Amino acid sequence: MDISQTSDLWWKNAVFYCLDVETFRDGNGDGTGDFRGLTDRIDYLAGLGVTCIWLMPFYPTANRDDGYDILDYYAVDPRYGSLGDFVEFLRTARDRGIRVIADLVVNHTSAEHPWFQASRSDKSSPLRDWYVWREAIPEGASQSLVFPDKETSNWELDKKTGEYYLHRFYNHQPDLNIANPDVRDEIRKIIGFWLELGLSGFRVDAVPFLLETEGIAQAMDLDPHDWLRNLRSFLGRRRGDALLMGEVNLEYEAVREFYGDSGGDELHMCLNFNLNQALALALVREDAGALMHNLRAMPTLPKDAAWANFIRNHDEWSLDKLTEAERQEVFQAFGPKPDMQLFGRGLRRRLPTMLDGNQARLRMAYSLMFALPGAPVLFYGEEIGMAENLEIEGRMSVRSPMQWSDRENGGFSEAASDALCRPLIRSRKWGPSAINVRDQERDGGSLLIWMEQLIRHRREMPEIAFGKWSLQPIADPAVLAVSYEWGDRRSLLVHNLDSSQKQVSFQMASRPDKASFVDRLGEGGIDVRADGTITLVLGGYGYRWLGLI
C-alpha cells in the first residue's frame, strides 16, 4: 500500500458537493446566483472539507428545465457571469485544493438550439441528421415516459417539415443522433473545450438514454459502449486524471456494464441509485435489512472504479427500484401528501423534513451514507439541514436558494426570495431565520460543525475508499456494521437505525484488544473479551467510527 499513489484515483476518496450556480450565491445583487458569488464562498466549501465541486448546467439555456435545455455548449449563461468569471472561479477553487466537474448534458439540446433550428428548417439541411427524424412514429417504439405528468409520447410532430423528432425527455428537448459521427465528434470537442479551461471531469447526464439507439433508423458504425470507451480514452489523453461520473439509474447488473470490461474502460464512477433507494426503505423501517441485502447484491467493480453515494440530489428521490408495496411504505412515512410525491415514483422533499427535524436521526443517516463503500456526494444545503419548498413546481422544490443568513433572505435579493424563498421565509422552523450558515458557524453543536467533523474523519480513513469491505454479522436487525481493511489500515463503522439504545456483540476475524480501538466519531461503551468478542453500546440512532491500530 502506497498512500501517495491514491491521488491518481482522487475520485475514490473525494467528497463531492453538487450545486446550482443560479441558486447558490448572488454576487452582484441582481437576484440570480453567479460565479462571482460562488467564488466568494470557495473558502466556505474548503472549510467544510469539500474536495470536488459538481456544477449543475451553467451554459446558455432556454430555461425551461433549469439549465438542462442547452443553447450553447461553449459558453456561460450571461446571468451567471462571463467565461472569465468562470475561469477565475476555477483558479480560486484549484488554489484551495478543490477540483471541479460539471454536468455533461449531450443526450439532447434545447429545441431553440441553433443546431435544431437548422435541422428543422429544411429536410435537406446539413444538420438534419444531427437529430432523430422519422416520417411516422416507429412501430413498437418505446413509449416509456420520463415525465409522465407532462408528456404522452417520446415523439413530437414538427409541423414545418411534417416529420416526427425523438425526445426521451421533454418535447422541447430533442435528442441528438449519436449514430451520426459528426455529432459524436462534436461531443468530443465539447469535452475537450472544458477540460482545456480546467475542469477535472464530468457528471454525465442520463447515460443509458445517451447510448440508446432505439428509434434511430440508421445503423451506428460502432457499438454505443465502444463509443463510451472512445470518450473515456479521449478524456484520458487530454487529462489523465479526469473523471466520468455517470447517472445510470438501472438495476445493478445493467449498471455494471457502464463501467466497461474487467479493467474498467468506460465510466469511472456511477451514482448508486440502488443503494440510495434501499437507504430510504431502511430509514423508514429503522431496520438495516434492506441495506444489507443491497450491499450484498452490489457487483464487483473494476479495480480503479468506484460508486458515488448520496442521500439527496437535485431530482426527486426516485423509488422506482422498490416494489410497489415498499414504495407506498416510504410514501406513507416520508411523503404522505400528494404534493410531496412526483410521477408516482419519487419524493420531492429533503431529508430533514422527512425526519421531522430529528437531529439524532439526521446525523445518523449522513454518518451512514459516508460510511458505505464509495465516495460521498452532498447536495448544497444538506450540511445545514435545509428543507424543500413544496410551493416550487416539480423537482425544483429541492433547489431553493442556499440559506446563508437570516438577514439576507438566503443571500439573495428580495425579488429572488419572492420567487423561490418566500414560503420558507415565513416558516419559523425551516426558513433562513431558523436555518442558515451564519448562525451554524457560530454554534459548536450545529449540524454544519458536525458535518465538517464527519468529512474530516471520512478523509482520514482512506480504507473506506480503497480497502476491502465486509459486513459484520449482527443479530439485531436495526444495526449495520461494516469493516474495512487496506494494508495495515482497519476500521469498523457501526450504525443503529433504531430509536432505542442497543448493545451488540460480535466477533471479528482478528482479535484486537480494547486498546486497539480509536474512537473517531460517535460515543458509547466498548468491551473486548479475551476470546475476541466485541460488545458495543449504541444510543438511539447512534453510530461509531472505530479505527483499529
Task: Give the catalytic positions in this structure.
Answer: 205, 247
Element at 118 (helix H, strand E): helix 114-121
172-to-106, 109, 159, 511 alpha-carbon distances in Å: 14, 8, 14, 62
CA–CA separation, 225 and 231 (whole Å): 10
85-to-18, 27, 226, 401, 431 alpha-carbon distances in Å: 19, 11, 36, 20, 30
CA–CA separation, 423 and 259 (whole Å): 43
Q: Kindly give the residue spans of alpha helices, DSSP state H, lying in 2-113.
A: 21-24, 35-40, 42-48, 83-95
Beta-carbon-side half-sphere exposure of residue 533 (alpha carbons within 13 Å)? 6
DSSP 392: S
CA–CA separation, 545 and 482 (whole Å): 10
Using only C-alpha atoms, the chain has a radius of gyration, in whole angstroms, of: 24
184-to-64, 190, 312 alpha-carbon distances in Å: 25, 10, 32
CA–CA separation, 69 and 113 (whole Å): 9
C-alpha cell at 200: 477535472
Residue with cell 467544510: 48
Beta-carbon-side half-sphere exposure of residue 124 (alpha carbons within 13 Å)? 0
CA angle in degrees (0–180, nearest 5) for 303-245-281: 90
Spatial CA neighbour of 346 closest among 317, 326, 375 = 317
Beta-carbon-side half-sphere exposure of residue 302 (alpha carbons within 13 Å)? 19
Neighbouring C-beta atoms of residue 144, cutoff 10 Å: 7
DSSP 219: P
Are the beta carbons of 211 and 228 closer than 8 angstroms? yes
- Residues in a beta bridge with 545: 493, 521
Are the beta carbons of 89 and 41 closer than 8 angstroms? no
Neighbouring C-beta atoms of residue 516, cutoff 10 Å: 14
Q: Phi then psi for 240, rounded to 5 degrees?
A: -60, -30
Amino acid at 404: W
Spatial CA neighbour of 184 closest among 134, 234, 249 = 234
Distance of CA 53 to the CA centre of its chain: 11
Helix, strand, coil percent values for the chain (each to nearest 5): 35, 20, 45
CA–CA separation, 106 and 93 (whole Å): 26
